[in-house]
A and B are shown apart, each in its own frame.
Chain A
Amino acid sequence: MRHLLSCAVAAGFALACSHGSDAVASAPAASTESVRAAIAANNAEFARAIKAKDTATLTHLFTEDGIFVSPAGGFVKGWAALEPHWVDRLSKATFLDGGITTDSLEVRGDIAVEAARFTWTIQRGDGPPVARTGRALTVWQRGSDGRWRMLADHPEYDPLK
């Protein structure tokens, strides 16, 4: 993936120069399909982590200054705020089952914009499990290590029927 990042740099340089193809060799950026696969793997990891209450993994699926727009209102930004957010949220609710499916994905260099749908079976306290569906708008950023992390995530539950 480091190679892909280098390619993206080279491609960006080449695009900025309408005449210049001699000095910098460009190479294709990551294909949409490879990005889709990487993000699907991250979504699967998110689902595993939220069910396991693995707040460290949930936090680090975001960029260091990533933003989570909470279904509870407002937003939290950055690892230092995200981790206690997940600890608090998962102290009140247990995600028993579910997952995230990519609906659409647009890749522009090191940024990918995803519209996704999710289903979760959630238990709050001793209450009965409740199945909820929803959708999310997520902006992913590829880091210098080649990994895709969430720059911003805005999930929202569908209205209860």
Chain B
Amino acid sequence: MTSLRPPVFLALGVAGCAHGPTPDSAAPTDAAARAGITAQHEAWREAIIAGDAARLARLFTDDGVLLSLNGSVAKGRGEVQKVLEDTVRHARYLSGGFTIETVDLQGDLAIEIAAFTWDRSLDGGPPTRPQKGHALAVWHRQPDGTWLLRAWSAKYDPRN
């Protein structure tokens, strides 16, 4: 949180321009980034409970990277979607969601630590009961102001 160089640079640059940027190209505020990321968390929650891997994959940039729980590193939306299809084939997500732990805004990138809790049914089995975990996410703000995942790595905490 302490490193504010990119926004400061951008602010300096904007100050030096006669016309300034359009609203969508302005440096995002911390609050705006948190709101945008929270909206994507909700989109993720809805998509994974629906078992919709294509919707989940659309939360990634075209060249997004997913470090999955099975040890694979998927690069690009196509590979990411395949991994997510495998995930929702084996796990039905019953309830849960994300909360933001920290966000470090670096220009049009936001580095987030998220906490999550999911109650799942694995391969048709009984609910696992809520399991907690943490994720590191690198979000990239798009020209339309939405935030997409440039990189995502998540894991469940040891049984809690």
A139 & B67 in contact (Cβ 8 Å cutoff) = no
Binary per-residue interface labels of chain B (50-76) against chain A in the complex, 1 for a CB within 8 Å, 0 otherwise? 000000000000010101011101010
Taking CB atoms, residues of chain A closer than 8 Å to B152 are 137
- Residues facing B in A64-97 (CB within 8 A) are 64-65, 67, 69, 71-75, 77
Question: Which of A69, A137, A141, A156 is the one whose CB lies under 8 Å from B151?
Answer: A137
**A16 contact from B10, B73, B136, Cβ within 8 A:** B10
The answer to whether B6 and A77 touch across the interface, beta carbons within 8 angstroms, is no
Mark B140-154 against chain A: 1 for CB-CB distance below 8 A, else 0: 000000000011110
Q: B158: CB under 8 A from chain A?
A: yes
B76 to chain A, nearest CB (A): 10
Interface size, chain B (Cβ < 8 Å): 43
Closest to B136 in A: A154
Note all chain B residues with C-beta closer than 8 A to A75.
Answer: 101, 113, 134
A135 at the interface (CB under 8 A from B): yes
Complex Cα–Cα for A65 and B104 (A): 10
Residues of B within 8 A of A141 (CB): 3, 106
Contacts of B5 in A (CB 8 A): 110, 144
Asked whether B17 lies within 8 Å of A19 as measured between CB atoms, the reply is yes
Question: Which of A67, A73, A117, A137 is the one whose CB lies under 8 Å from B153?
Answer: A137
A12 to B16, CA, bound (A): 12
Determine whether B18 belongs to the interface, using a CB cutoff of 8 Å to chain A: yes
Q: How far is the CB of A115 from chain B (nearest CB, A)?
A: 5
Pair B67/A23 contact, Cβ less than 8 Å:
no
Q: Which residues of B contact A115 (CB under 8 A)?
A: 65, 67, 73, 75, 151
Chain A residues in the interface with B (C-beta under 8 A): 8-9, 12-20, 23-24, 63-65, 67, 69, 71-75, 77, 103-104, 106, 108-111, 113, 115, 117, 133-137, 139, 141, 144, 151-154, 156, 158-159
Sample of 23 A–B contacts (CB below 8 Å): A12-B6, A12-B10, A16-B14, A16-B17, A16-B21, A17-B16, A17-B17, A65-B2, A65-B104, A69-B153, A75-B101, A75-B134, A104-B65, A109-B107, A110-B6, A113-B150, A115-B65, A135-B73, A151-B106, A152-B104, A154-B136, A156-B153, A156-B155
B residues apposed to A, CB below 8 Å: 1-3, 5-6, 9-10, 12-14, 16-19, 21, 63, 65, 67, 69-71, 73, 75, 101-102, 104, 106-107, 109, 111, 113, 134-136, 138, 150-153, 155, 157-158, 160
Shortest beta-carbon contacts, A-B, top 10: A16-B13, A73-B157, A137-B153, A158-B71, A154-B136, A12-B9, A13-B13, A17-B17, A154-B153, A156-B155
